[in-house]
């Protein structure tokens, strides 16, 4: 839902394990009603460290990215922010990832970041689907607990390396953890009833609930071209799901309900994070949010897991199949890494380049799922996959047209 699509928003989801990769996952659309207030604060607030939401990490995501130029009173330009509050690098700033310097060569640095994101995401997809292929593994809650705990460890380590500290309140982290853990848990449970490739296709539809919430809550309007793109995406998802029904003996409608519920939770989570963590006077960093939200989420998951009596069964299974725990923690680390690479791409090269890599990541994740874990292909899978590709390409085209229109309007205003 990381909440690392793990497909890291982007509209949404570091959902962590669904990072969707749920993630995760990588910027979310800002809420229209808050734009004026946010812009006013940004003009006086100190520069914040790069941050993006958990919902954004869920490797996962079709999202809307926006850039801003703000003029301060002195006439100097403020930092330009991209997806979910990630600041663009200052002129001459050294490129880094995980605190390590990248090569001076622009092309080589881009290849490292793009390759790191794609490699981590594909490793995440292969390991996570591999866990569900282990005989007798039906422990979505156990997977979610191990994932959130791993995210906590990764976030805490990165905070230690960067000298970061907690800025948001424990109350907000308590609320956020309900959303992030709930969305991740539903995504992981859904994998017991859906093929992994179908889950990835569903996570690509994150833009649909985001559009719906924007219309219903803040009264935002979209033109017919944007609705057409969403309709093509829905058609692709329906076809792909019907292909799953025809080829997967484990398919059950509850899987669709769970993954749809996870998408809605992601959309709510994205707005909550935007307001309380990233678009505020003292914004938090991504590693801070992942660290503390994952810590609390781990305890949220442990309490019902132990009370249900399933803990002993899950642990016994993991002791019998000793690869379970290393695989879960391994794909969680890869999900966290993939999101970090994406955030660095946004910072140093721009949101458009990052969106292209994220879309390629989803496509390759579906392809590798069919290669490593063969499934019975049918025309519905192929037609659904083609529709998703068309919708993604059309969405990029519409974003490009909007960007050109904004640049033309800005040029005309300054002329």
Percent pLDDT > 70 in the chain is 73
pLDDT tens figures, 281-306: 888 887 888 899 999 999 999 998 99
Q: How far apart are CA 318 and CA 304, in angstroms?
A: 19
Instruction: Kindly indicate the confidence band of residue 35, based on its pLDDT and cuts at 50, 70 and 90.
Output: very low
**Higher per-residue confidence, 189 vs 86:** 189
Q: Quick one: average pLDDT of 266-288? A: 79
The closest alpha carbon to 42, from 67, 14, 12, 11, belongs to: 67
Q: Are 57 and 3 in contact (CB under 8 A)?
A: yes
Tell me the range of 2-11, 174-183, 244-253, 318-327 where mean pLDDT is highest. 318-327
The interaxial angle of helices 140-162 and 311-320, nearest 10 deg, is 80
Whether the model clears a pTM of 0.75, i.e. scores above it, the answer is no
Distance CA 295, CA 312 (A): 22
Rounded CA-CA distance 173/297 in Å is 9
Whether pLDDT at 233 is above 60: yes
Looking up tokens 């800002």 gives 30
C-alpha 75: how far from chain center: 36
| Cα–Cα distance for residue pair 231/211, rounded to 1 Å | 12
Torsion of CA 318, 60, 56, 158, to 10 degrees: 50
Q: How much of the chain is helix, strand and coil, in % rounded to 5?
A: 65, 5, 30
Tens-digit pLDDT profile for residues 371-401: 877 777 778 888 888 888 888 788 778 877 8
Q: Are 349 and 110 in contact (CB under 8 A)?
A: yes
Q: What is the H or E stretch that residue 153 is in?
A: helix 140-162
- What pLDDT, on a 0 to 100 scale, did the predictor assign at position 217? 65
**CA 114/CA 345 separation, integer angstroms:** 7
The whole-number pLDDT of residue 272 equals: 83
Q: What pLDDT score does 299 carry?
A: 93
More confident site: 276 or 192: 276
* Predicted pLDDT at 195: 73
Residue 112 CB contacts under 8 Å (≥ 6 apart), including other chains: 97, 102, 103
- Neighbouring residues of 343: CB distance < 8 A, sequence distance ≥ 6: 8, 26, 50, 52, 86, 286
pLDDT tens digits along 76-126: 333 445 444 555 666 677 787 877 788 888 888 888 998 998 899 889 888
**pLDDT for the residue numbered 319:** 95
Residue 360 pLDDT grade (very low, low, confident, very high; cuts 50, 70, 90): confident
For range 302-331, the mean pLDDT: 93
Q: How far is residue 248 CA from its own chain's centroid?
A: 26
Q: Is residue 23 over pLDDT 60? A: no
Sequence-separated (6 or more) residues with CB below 8 Å from residue 330: 123, 127
Phi, psi angle pair for 101, to nearest 5°: -70, 140
Element (H, E) at 235: helix 224-247
């Amino acid at each position: 839902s990381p909440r690392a699509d793990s497909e890291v928003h982007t509209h949404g989801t570091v959902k962590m394990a669904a990072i969707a990769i749920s993630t995760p996952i990588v910027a979310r659309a800002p809420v229209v009603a808050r734009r004026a207030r946010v812009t006013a604060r940004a003009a006086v607030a100190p520069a914040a460290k790069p941050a993006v939401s958990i919902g954004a990490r869920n490797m996962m995501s079709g999202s809307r990215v926006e850039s801003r130029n703000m003029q301060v009173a002195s006439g100097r330009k403020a930092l330009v922010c991209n997806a979910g509050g990630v600041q663009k690098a200052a002129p001459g700033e050294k490129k880094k990832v995980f605190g390590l310097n990248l090569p001076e060569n622009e092309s080589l640095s881009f290849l490292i970041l793009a390759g790191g994101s794609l490699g981590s995401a594909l490793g995440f997809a292969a390991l996570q689907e591999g866990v569900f292929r282990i005989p007798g593994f039906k422990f979505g809650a156990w997977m979610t607990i191990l994932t959130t705990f791993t995210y906590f460890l990764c976030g805490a380590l990165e905070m230690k390396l960067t000298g970061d500290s907690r800025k948001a309140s424990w109350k907000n982290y308590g609320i956020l953890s309900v959303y992030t853990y709930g969305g991740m848990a539903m995504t992981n449970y859904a994998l017991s009833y859906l093929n992994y490739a179908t889950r990835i296709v569903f996570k690509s539809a994150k833009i649909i609930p985001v559009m719906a919430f924007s219309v219903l809550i803040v009264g935002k309007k979209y033109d017919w071209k944007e609705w057409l793109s969403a309709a093509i995406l829905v058609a692709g998802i329906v076809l792909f799901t019907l292909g799953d029904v025809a080829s997967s003996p484990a398919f059950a409608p509850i899987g669709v309900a769970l993954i749809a519920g996870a998408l809605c939770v992601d959309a709510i989570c994205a707005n909550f994070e935007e307001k309380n963590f990233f678009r505020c006077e003292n914004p938090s960093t991504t590693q801070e949010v992942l660290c503390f939200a994952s810590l609390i989420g781990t305890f949220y998951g442990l309490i019902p897991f132990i009370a249900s009596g399933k803990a002993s069964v899950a642990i016994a299974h993991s002791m019998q199949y000793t690869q379970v725990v290393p695989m879960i923690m391994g794909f969680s680390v890869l999900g966290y890494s993939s999101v970090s690479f994406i955030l660095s791409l946004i910072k140093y090269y721009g949101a458009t380049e990052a969106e292209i890599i994220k879309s390629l990541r989803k496509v390759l994740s579906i392809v590798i799922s069919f290669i490593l874990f063969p499934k019975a292909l049918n025309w519905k899978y192929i037609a659904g996959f083609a529709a998703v590709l068309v919708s993604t390409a059309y969405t990029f085209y519409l974003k490009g047209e909007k960007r050109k229109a904004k640049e033309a309007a800005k040029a005309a205003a300054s002329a």
